[in-house]
Amino acid sequence: MRTSFKIGTIIGIPVKLHITFLLILPVFAFVFATTEPPLGFAGTPSGLMVYALSLITTILLFVCVLLHEAGHSYIAKGYGVEIRDITLLLFGGVSSMEEIPRVPSQELKMAFAGPFVSFVIGVTLLALNVLVSSSVAGYSDTSIFLMLNILGSINIVLALFNLLPAFPMDGGRLLRAWYAKRMSYVKATHYAASFGKLFAFLMGIIGLFFNPWLILIAFFVYIGASEEDRSTTITVLLERYSVKDIMTADVVSVSPDINVEDLSKLMFEKKHLGYPVVKGNSLKGIVTFTDIRNILPHERYAKLVSDIMISDVISVSPQDPASEAFKVMTRNNIGRVLVMDKGELVGILSRSDLMRAMTLLNE
């Protein structure tokens, strides 16, 4: 099932809409419709007009979020970073970048660009309201004034919130860039992530006494900081090695003509959860434990590997950095990749292989 849909492009970058955005859209509209001014439309016009204004304001708010992400992406593209897409999600937007720049000055500019865009939008809308109000009588009583006031205020709050020094907010990246001028990139990430975790812990404590929503935000911040610390450490350490240093060269393959029951027995015997599917000298696909787990036991004798295998094989080269294989697995949400050299299968690399290598490297 597709979870994201392309709705357009901005500065040459595909813009996608995640299905969670469609869930939050009516929620935000309802909040705006039932909140008193100056941050809502309750009691202003009557009937369906309140909800129409609230829906328009919600859509414009997410356009502002899109511009925030476009600010990050514009600077990143200038430094040669590939941006796959910008996706609007339940809690905002995210730019899918190949890799964050590791030059501190570049990361600092890229991280600051998003909050700067939000701040400029907020100040511009509020200033426009003040300017028009001073020259047009009764303008401050209109729905347009209220809408611009809401959007301007929220954009300034968005800019300030994103400057908090904690991952995954932009402030966490600004803090890492500051640390990275003084120490290694891994250590800078660890210090910035630790600060973010402490910040999340304090936010959670405050939330217990004042606002339960802060607990949810604190959890989000803590997980984001932990994941950034983990993924950065893995990526940097694995860059020192190539795929051929870690892969399994003695590849066990299966035929597309065996049934699923025999495959499950082979998995139990060999203790591997993924196998390339080969017929003769030709690679046909890959089959994993995930592919057989939903097949009912009484159907496994009738089903062949060719019926459940994945034909669209994702592969890497033995000369690629091991960190690149890790990114490929993460990006495609898979547990292993095949290693191909000039069209020939020469190995297989699993997430377990990478984690085992990480353990040894840490030791």
Looking at residue 1, its pLDDT comes to 46
- With vertex at residue 307, the alpha carbon angle to CA 347 and CA 247, rounded to the nearest 5 degrees, is 10
Annotated catalytic residue within 69, 107, 228, 324:
69
Is residue 285 within 8 Å of residue 313, measured between CB atoms?
yes
Task: Give the pLDDT score at 92.
Answer: 65
Q: CA distances (Å), 327 to each of 31, 129, 321, in order? A: 39, 46, 10
Q: Which residues of 229-246 are buried (b: 16+ CB within 10 A; e: fewer)?
A: beebbbbebbeeebbbeb
Q: Which of 348, 97, 357 is nearest to 234 (CA)?
A: 357
Separation CA 50–CA 41 (nearest Å): 6
Q: What is the pLDDT of residue 2?
A: 60
Structure tokens at 14: 């595909």
48 Cβ neighbours under 8 A, 6+ residues apart: none
According to the model, what pLDDT value does residue 231 have? 82
Query: Which tokens is 174 given?
Result: 């600004």
Residues 215, 203: Cα–Cα separation, whole Å: 7
Model pLDDT, residue 319:
93
Please tell me the number of Cα atoms within 13 Å of 220 on its side-chain side.
Answer: 10
Q: Is residue 189 within 8 Å of 229, Cβ to Cβ? A: yes
Catalytic (active site) residue 69: yes
| Residue 343 token pair | 């069209």
Which position has the token pair 């495959």?
A: 263
pLDDT tens for the 363 residues of the chain, in order: 467 788 889 888 888 888 877 788 888 888 888 888 888 888 776 667 888 899 999 999 989 999 999 999 999 999 888 888 888 876 667 777 767 778 899 999 999 999 999 999 999 999 999 999 988 888 888 889 999 999 999 999 999 988 988 887 899 999 999 999 999 888 999 999 999 999 999 999 999 888 888 888 888 888 888 888 888 888 888 888 899 999 988 888 899 999 989 999 998 888 888 889 998 888 889 998 888 888 888 888 888 888 888 888 889 999 999 888 888 888 788 888 999 998 888 999 988 888 888 888 766
Gap between the Cα atoms of 188 and 194, Å rounded: 10
According to DSSP, the β-strands at 315-316 and 336-341 are: parallel
Query: Would you say 34 and 72 are in contact if contact means Cβ atoms under 8 Å apart?
Result: no
